[in-house]
Amino acid sequence: MSTTSKTVFRRLVFWLTLEIVLNLVGLDNLADYSEFIAAQTGRNWPERSMSCSLSLDSLQSV
């Protein structure tokens, strides 16, 4: 096996082991959720925070 394939194999085994352990402990869902949040708040987080603050301002004025 070449060095590159050994590295890929090691990373794959590490990832698979980590997934199994986290799933047994119950933290896999937490990791998946954090990845989901990171994907959702990628580039447009300033726009979202601005719209959130605008909605909060409108709620406070009521």
**How many angstroms separate the most distant Cα atoms in the chain?**
68
Decide if pLDDT at 14 tops 80. yes
| Better-scored residue on pLDDT, 27 or 51 | 27
Say if residue 11's pLDDT is above 90: yes
- pTM listed for this prediction: 0.45
Q: Give the tens place of pLDDT for each residue, 28-50.
A: 777 777 778 878 876 555 555 55
Please state the domain extents for the chain: 3-61
